[in-house]
Amino acid sequence: MRFLLENELLIPEHLSDKPGVKRISDHESGHSQPLNPSYDYSPELQQLLYGKQLLLEEIPFSLEDIQQHYVNGFVHYRKCITKTKEGYSCVRCGNSDQKLFALFECARCQQECTYCRKCINMGRMSECTVMVSWAGPSPTGEIPAKPLVWEGSLSAGQQKASTELIRAVQTNDQLLIWAVCGAGKTEILFEGIETALQAGKRVCIATPRTDVVIELAPRIKAAFPQVDVIALYGGSEDRNKTAPITLSTTHQLLRFYKAFDMIIIDEVDAFPYSVEPMLQYAVNQAKKDISSTIYLTATPNKTWKKEISAGKRKAVTIPARYHRQPLPVPEYVWCGNWEKRLKKKRLPGNLMAWIKEHLEKGKQAFLFVPRITYLESIVQVLQSIEPRIQGVHAEAPDRKEKVARFRTGEIPIIVTTTILERGVTVPNIDVAVLGAEDRIFTESALVQISGRVGRSAQFPTGQILFFHFGRTMEMVKAKQHIEKMNKEALQNGFID
């Protein structure tokens, strides 16, 4: 099948009798024309398309305007769906699972057309449509000689990581930064980002969760106040903008194509990035062929740990927090058959005593639970003693509002699923996990949950309790992980 642009539709060539229209052939994965330097291109279209790959319906310009930019070499076309030996492959998300392709009666080509079901929520990718990218010059923007205005100081561990990061940026290399929760990873990035900006490079910080993007944005803007920074997530107002620094969920990277000279993947071990090849494909597609890739994690997987030990992966480890105090170590607390009690609208006595103690002291706390189905019942029991206690989970429409109220101290205790195991920082906090034996609480999850405690230099200690009905290996490994980091930090002189 061959394609052409006509009447604001993409249709097969054999259905048109109009000659002289630029075509995209089946054997071409992409198509562009030589650049015409005298063409008066649209800066607005440049801003929209630079580093992106968008469907025609996502572009608020007429088809004639887009086609003129293509003819003059300023726009690049790529087919959405390509044929392979196995069947089909999606250009945007990399899907090659034939079960995730389907046919539909297409109004464009007036025949059955194959489309990708995997990334359908971002717009339909079908055989007779194209992705549009910018092929002209990069948008210009002034970068000050000294873009970083942050005046803080780095700990010895942070400085070590920052130096390695700068080297990776200068050599377009990969680097894993393995830093404990609360090590000050954001501050570690500052000098590396500045190095990239001073070299005219574009930077992206990508993270699996919207909450983290929203929390990071004001911190990055404060550190680089004279540099444009955009934040991209579902519903973001910055969707059609481009900037030297981009904060994005990993899902939003599906819209980018060879955009970034430096890409930082925060919480590389987190769901869904860690288990979704589509998101890993998106990252690789979003960065330029010559670029640096920085991975951040507090809990690398087994494969990466082995690669680090074998010297096959460049990595720097920060086993201590910036305030030089050891990580709080979790304690195991047996609480009996809590699920059986919950069915009777009751909670274990030792957990209730812990809750009441925190209410009396006025100290805020997280209570992590395994499932949404448990959460609502637990919140109902706890609200009988304190109506201000609230619960949040991934599907809660008012999640952001409740987290904001928790940060201000309006909510004393928040009951949550693992959705808040990362990215939410409250200075003086204790944490409990109910049902720590549940399979949802992996070593990684429990280490991250424990990492909510003692992050502030003003409040470097705190309590983390694993309430359980049976100790699991994941619980044991989480505690050993934290103790190992404390031992390594002490040996390296990173804690007092």
Q: Is-contact 423 211, C-beta < 8 A?
A: yes
272 upstream amide cis, omega within 30 of 0:
yes
**What single letter denotes the amino acid at residue 419?**
I
pLDDT of residue 159: 94
What does the alpha-carbon distance between residue 389 and residue 402 come to, in Å, rounded to a whole number? Answer: 10
Query: Would residue 148 count as lying in a domain?
Result: no
pLDDT of residue 421: 82
Query: Would residue 287 count as lying in a domain?
Result: yes
Residues 464 and 351 in one domain: yes
Query: Would residue 141 count as lying in a domain?
Result: no
Residues 34 and 122 in one domain: yes
Domain limit, last residue, from 269, 287, 318: 318
DSSP 6: E
Residues 304 and 345 in one domain: no
Q: Is-contact 226 250, C-beta < 8 A?
A: no
Q: Is-contact 201 261, C-beta < 8 A?
A: yes
pLDDT of residue 25: 36
Question: What are the residue ranges of helices labelled H in 289-343?
Answer: 302-309, 338-343
Residues 212 and 349 in one domain: no
pLDDT of residue 27: 33
Cα dihedral 154/159/163/168 (nearest 10): -80
**What single letter denotes the amino acid at residue 253?**
L
Helix axis angle, 399-407 to 210-223, nearest 10°: 50
Using alpha carbons, select from 242, 274, 300, 304 the residue that is nearest to residue 47.
242
Residues 128 and 61 in one domain: yes
- Long-range contacts formed by 35-38: CB under 8 A, 24+ apart: 35/72, 35/73, 35/74, 35/135, 35/136, 36/72, 36/73, 36/74
What does the alpha-carbon distance between residue 5 and residue 71 come to, in Å, rounded to a whole number? Answer: 12
Q: Walk along the chain (496 residues) and give the pLDDT tens digit of each residue.
A: 344 444 333 433 433 333 333 333 333 445 667 899 999 999 999 999 999 999 988 999 998 899 899 999 999 999 899 999 999 999 999 999 999 999 999 887 888 999 999 999 999 999 988 899 999 998 877 899 999 999 899 988 899 999 999 999 999 999 999 999 989 899 999 999 999 999 999 999 999 888 789 889 999 999 999 999 999 998 899 988 889 999 999 999 999 999 999 999 998 887 778 788 899 999 999 999 999 999 999 888 888 889 998 989 999 999 999 899 999 999 999 999 999 999 999 999 999 999 999 999 999 999 999 999 999 999 999 999 999 999 999 888 888 899 889 999 999 999 999 888 876 788 899 999 999 999 999 999 999 999 999 999 899 999 999 999 999 999 999 999 999 999 999 998 988 8
pLDDT of residue 31: 65
Using alpha carbons, select from 164, 145, 228, 224 the residue that is nearest to residue 190.
224
Using alpha carbons, select from 88, 84, 91 the residue that is nearest to residue 102.
88
Q: Dig out the tokens for 202 from the structure.
A: 């574009």
pLDDT of residue 7: 38
Q: Which range marks the domain in which residue 301 is found?
A: 156-318
Cα four-point dihedral sign 327, 333, 337, 343: negative
Domain limit, last residue, from 318, 343, 372: 318
Residues 90 and 207 in one domain: no
From the CB of residue 163, how many other CB atoms can be counted at a distance below 10 Å?
15
**What single letter denotes the amino acid at residue 178?**
W
Helix, strand, coil percentages (3-state) for the chain, rounded to 5, are 35, 20, 45
Residues 342 and 404 in one domain: yes
Query: Would residue 262 count as lying in a domain?
Result: yes
Residues 309 and 356 in one domain: no
Q: Domain holding 417: CATH number? A: 3.40.50.300
What does the alpha-carbon distance between residue 198 and residue 78 come to, in Å, rounded to a whole number? Answer: 32
Residues 223 and 99 in one domain: no
Query: Would residue 111 count as lying in a domain?
Result: yes
Query: Would residue 473 count as lying in a domain?
Result: yes
Query: Would residue 260 count as lying in a domain?
Result: yes
Q: Chain-centre distance of CA 341, in angstroms?
A: 37
Residues 368 and 452 in one domain: yes
Please state the domain count of the chain: 3
Residues 345 and 234 in one domain: no
Residues 305 and 343 in one domain: no
What pTM, to 2 d.p., does this model score?
0.83
Query: Would residue 384 count as lying in a domain?
Result: yes
pLDDT of residue 30: 59
